[in-house]
Structure 1
Amino acid sequence: MTAPLGYGAQPRAPYATDPDKSVGRLVPEPESPTRTPFQRDRDRIIHSTAFRRLKHKTQVFVYHEGDHFRTRLTHTIEVSQIARSLARALRLDEDLAECLALAHDLGHTPFGHEGEDVMDVCMAPHGGFDHNAQSLRIVTLLERRYAEFDGLNLSWETLEGLVKHNGPLTDADGTPLGKFAKTGLPFAIRQHALKQDLRLDTWPSAEAQAAAIADDIAYDAHDLDDGLRAGLLSLDQLCEVPFFADILAEVDARYPGLEEPRRIHEIVRRSITRMVEDVIGEAVRRLERLAPQSVEDIRRAGEPVVTFSPAMTAREKEVKSFLFANLYRHESVLAVRREVAAVVRELFAAYMEDPGKMPEEWRRGLDEADVDRRARRVCDFIAGMTDRFAIEEHARLFDHTPDLG
């Protein structure tokens, strides 16, 4: 196998997902005369309400802290660009990779990971909360735009990649793996499995793997960028991390005296380039060894094929540790996180006590005695909120809303 790099259109690799061989949709529909199934899925995601809401959902910094920091939407667009680049280099289906990148954060709550953590605690007695499972719930149930079905009725391959882009969720006997070994599979995934088999015991397509690693690359580099521009990180601190120290030395040697904004951008873009090129190189090595002739060979490989090399895996772990200690755990970030955690927690308690405080369409059909169903409805309502709407709702219901403006 030759290295699949290049700039022009290339034939799809035999291990790529073929849109002409899609398993199909849960609700059968006529095929589009102008778009492949994955192009159609991508368009449905982009036009969804949940996608638009990403504009006002936190990545690291809450919406009021500045217009130039990343939101879930800008992060998602950046992930999709990296995913397409990886897919093009490896001769995968670019549309499926882009589609999965665009959908990967649809299930996030307001206020980033803090909102998710609080929601998981609130929902612990009622089946828990997982943002990836919530993404599945959105695209299969909560989006209500079409006359003939709930959700977006996406293709099987898109749903498969959305659910298990980080790897198998169960073993061959159906026993949950990894973080779900103790808690069991998330509610939304269990419910959907009753209607459709997404083969939770296999690896996903190479396109899904490309989207997953693109997410890691994007948030490592861009959270660093935001942290530096916010003044919570300094360029001097980067010397503590070998990966960044090497790049910083390279930039300073080539561009001595470069002004700081350009210096930051050079570090960020070179970080992305190094990680992307590492993934491509490692994927080529793994593909040469595996010699897959179909997407099924990818699913049954027993390990990912689109991933970092062992050396970059170690470097990337150091990057994450640095960002966790110096950015995500920075006192100014933690102070805001504590305030927004209270917002989510108190909204959940208020709606659980009196569902009438939710809009009529959200409380319709609730049985007062079915606490689990009520909790899931409240969870869906809050998880769909933007940061701004959550603050406005809290101010409507309480007189002690934190001042984040």
Structure 2
Amino acid sequence: MAVRRLHPEQPESFAFTPANRAWAEKVIARYPEGRQASAVIPLLWRAQEQHEGWLPEPAIRHVADMLSMPHIRVLEVATFYTMFQLAPLGKKAHVQVCGTTPCQLRGAEDLVRVCKAKIAAHAHELSEDGDFSWEEVECLGACVNAPMVQIFKDTYEDLTPESLEALLDDIAAGREVTPGPQTDRRFAMPEGGATSLTEIADTTTGGDPVPHVVDGAEAASHVFAGEAINAGGQDFDGVPAPQTTAKAAPKPVEKAKDVKPEAVEAAAAGAPGSVQSSLDLEGEGAPESEPDLLKGPRGGKPDDLKQLKGVGPKLEGVLNDLGIYHFDQVAAWGPEEVAWVDARLKFKGRIERDGWIEQARILAEGGETEFSQRVADGDVPSSKA
């Protein structure tokens, strides 16, 4: 490991801002008495973020005093972990070039040459204007998009020397940049284009499959022009913020016209078993519409709902108690009917996840699915009555 020393030029003092001080005290309070030293890494990280992205020696002493630790112990932590920067960083960008094997094989050395030419001859040196610095680091976790760099909290991938130069020029000029792949591919898809998960089936309306598109473009997380990172201490601290949106008022359990009375009574009482009313029957804003329900199976013979993927004997009983006995009932559901049934099942989302409606349409027409064939062959133990 390279020797890591404190920068020769240090500020006279350091103290957390009031917001960061309150945050630090909240973190320290998470640990039992005598174990406050466990908070050393998050406090050092917050101090680094407050002090323009690097950790000065007075900040190390300040954290040590807050945690009642010897100064040398906190200095050992700061100099051991390379996540802590011990020298000033570029005000507009600190470029971390991944130099691990995948990036090396894909041209990381060319990116290092760009940094040496455009920023400074050596790692951890500031550019002449003080706006840029760079270093080579180990794996940054985007191997499939090699070579790549990280600038503050964002990664820029699929780089070439030319695209890295253009990226640095854009940052220098204050132009907005987009993190992620710097080519036309999305995220980690193969270079030749996506070969899987290219579309999703619309299982609720019966429509044709629609393209699976994710618009992942987003602005860089850091601020240009040298503004201190996280100076206000407003980022996520591991403690969820209070809920600000009002929760919908609980919906009463309504008796469906064809639902068995005992099932409704069990649901209203929150009893375990056929209807799980105790799990979010209040709804979450999604419109619900009661599907066509039956008092009993037609001709006294229900369909084998266990031929639907995800439906075992117990869940089949729940559906029967609700008044659902046949594939054509399931096949007729739209989004509102799905929401109604979903609210009365123990595990929400399984209707769409397992594709019940699409399967039910095939089975209602007398066809077979891959899963129903497995059931018929006895390969699905959970679907046996």
Shared fold (TM-score, shorter chain, > 0.5)? no
Kindly indicate which of the two structures has a greater share of residues assigned to helix.
1
Kindly indicate which of the two structures has a greater share of residues assigned to strand.
2
Q: TM-score, normalised by structure 2?
A: 0.22
Q: TM-score, normalised by structure 1?
A: 0.22
Larger Rg: 2
